[in-house]
């Protein structure tokens, strides 16, 4: 664990979110296409949230803090 950098982990999630945005749609149609698109949206949301996290590694405990409040404060 000495070489683990939580900020590098977050950076990888930012890269994953960007990769999902660039992901090509496979040659599928109908229900399979809708499932693929829904999964891509979920993947992007999850990767982007972790990519926006504030990280803290203290005493071997990794804490991700993700503010889910809207930017308008609502």
Structure tokens at 31: 């229900």
Q: What is the pLDDT of residues 1-44, one digit of tens each?
A: 568 999 999 999 999 999 999 988 888 888 888 999 999 999 99
The pLDDT, as a whole number, for residue 1 is 58
Q: What separation in angstroms does the CA of 53 have from each of 26, 35, 45, 48, 70?
A: 31, 27, 12, 9, 15
Residues in the chain: 74
The pLDDT, as a whole number, for residue 43 is 95
Domain spans of the chain? 6-65
pTM higher than 0.85: no
Q: What is the pLDDT of residues 43-67, one digit of tens each?
A: 999 999 999 999 999 999 999 999 9
């Amino acid at each position: 664990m000495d070489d683990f950098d939580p900020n590098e982990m977050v950076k990888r999630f930012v890269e994953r979110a960007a990769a999902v945005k660039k992901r090509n749609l496979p040659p599928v149609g109908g229900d399979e296409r809708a499932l693929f698109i829904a999964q891509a949206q979920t993947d992007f949301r999850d990767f982007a949230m972790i990519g926006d996290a504030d990280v803290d590694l203290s005493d071997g405990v990794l804490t991700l803090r993700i503010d889910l409040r809207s930017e308008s404060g609502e």
